Amino acid sequence: MRHFLEIDDLSPAELARVLDLATIPEPPRVLAGKGMALIFEKPSARTRNSMEMAVVQLGGHPVYIQGDEVGLDTRESVEDVTNAMAGYHAAIGARVFDHGVVERMAGVDRVPVVNLLSDQGHPMQALADLLTLRREFGSLEGRSVAYIGDANNVARSLAIGAALTGMQFRIASPPGYTFSDTDLDRIRASGEAQVFDRPDVAAAGADAIYADTWTSMGQEAEADKRRRDFEGFQVDARLMSIASAGAIFLHCLPAHRGEEVADAVIDGERSRIWVQAANRMHAARGLLAFLVNEAQS
């Protein structure tokens, strides 16, 4: 059984196949008469809506389930919940606090499990990011993306995805907010990644500049400290001017305008954030078509 807990659960060839499936004009009805359970321990706008519509476009029926409705490891064990859901659905997606939860779901191994975000990765966002870059530039190999900010779950999945596709990944983070050596080893096992502590160095000549919030969900108590620590890491017009002449701006959203990104950039002509957000649905459709076909073969 194939699962999708991190983007390198796909080989480079499979990743290219998923991106191809995301763009075909008539999606295969691989989920006709079937359901997909979407378990959300954390709330979401883009992830929920994009996954639900992807399931619908593949002919299936999405069922949204809040975490406290199933009570993972409180009312029932993760394994018992997964076994029950596998009796009703062709696949399970889960947005969780602890990455170990999606690993345990996959360990049941009855239907494909998709990581809709965990503390370690956000591979569905990375798929949409790569799809956006490929549509913008035609191909990914040899391109470069500069991520300005916290080396969080979004950055980690994007870094691995970029490495798998032959892109150069650069990240600029303040001290204390960069990748661990373990993360860097995993990213560099697939390809290139460069780490900087100055945004202007990372952004120089890049094809895309990427920003994410300085304070993610669950880190609200650290917000004041993070604003101080990330001072000088805002993506503004000056930083965009250092990138390549055709560089685009990306953000996984929600954005804190005036913090990690200036209004003139996120609302500017180089911004592709709404295309990127729409690509969440197309990328999800491509992944599910691939996983369901794999499960049936």
Cα Rg of the chain (Å, integer): 19
Catalytic residue list: 95, 122, 125, 212, 252, 280
- Left (φ > 0), alpha (ψ -120 to 50) or beta: where does 160 sit? alpha
